[in-house]
Amino acid sequence: MTGKARAHTLAAFLLLATLAWHGGCAAVVVYAYANGESTHDVNAPLDDVWAASLAAFDELELPVAASSRDEDSGRIKSRTPGGDEITLRLQQRKVDQTRAKVRIGLFGDEKRSQQIIRSIEGRLGLTAPADAAAPQAFGEESP
């Protein structure tokens, strides 16, 4: 294991240990970002997250190039305006919880990945008012 990989593993462990130490950590929104992939657990069933994901891609003007869905998972592929591939993978974790994993391009793009996840949660009514502001074109900077 390289020094960088050890540092990432240690940082992830410390984050999880900190969250476990504090009661009420279930209410904390945490985006995990590792190896170019952004991961977030959405507190909604897969069916709802799937529909919200398709609507979010439309809202962000990201045309769906391919999609597939089965009983407990789904995948949506698109491209950024700059041509980078976007892959959203959904996996049902519990009856009312779905894991969303977003990868953009070869190395990932954390900011844009979180923008997609916030848009999905906004469609589900799960975001805070500040996060649910009018969506910007994909990747635009805030004023």
Give per-residue pLDDT as tens, 20-75: 444 444 433 444 566 789 999 999 999 999 999 999 999 999 999 999 999 999 99
Distance CA 142, CA 115 (A): 12
pLDDT score at 13: 46
Taking only the tens place, the pLDDT of each residue in 124-140 is: 998 755 454 445 566 65
Distance CA 136, CA 107 (A): 23
| Structure tokens belonging to residue 29 | 């929104």
pLDDT score at 139: 61
34 lies in some domain: yes
136 lies in some domain: no
Range among 10-14, 77-81, 125-129 with highest mean pLDDT value: 77-81
- Of 117 and 12, the one with more pLDDT: 117
11 lies in some domain: no
Distance CA 113, CA 80 (A): 11
pLDDT score at 27: 37
pLDDT score at 61: 95
25 lies in some domain: no
- CATH number of the domain that residue 69 is part of: 3.30.160.110
At residue 94, what are phi and psi to the nearest 5 degrees? -135, 180
Which candidate, 48, 49, 95, 68, places its Cα nearest to that of 40? 49
Please tell me the total count of domains within the chain: 1
**Statement: the pTM of the whole predicted model exceeds 0.85:** no
Burial of 121: CB neighbours in 10 Å, binned 0-12, 13-18, 19+: buried
21 lies in some domain: no
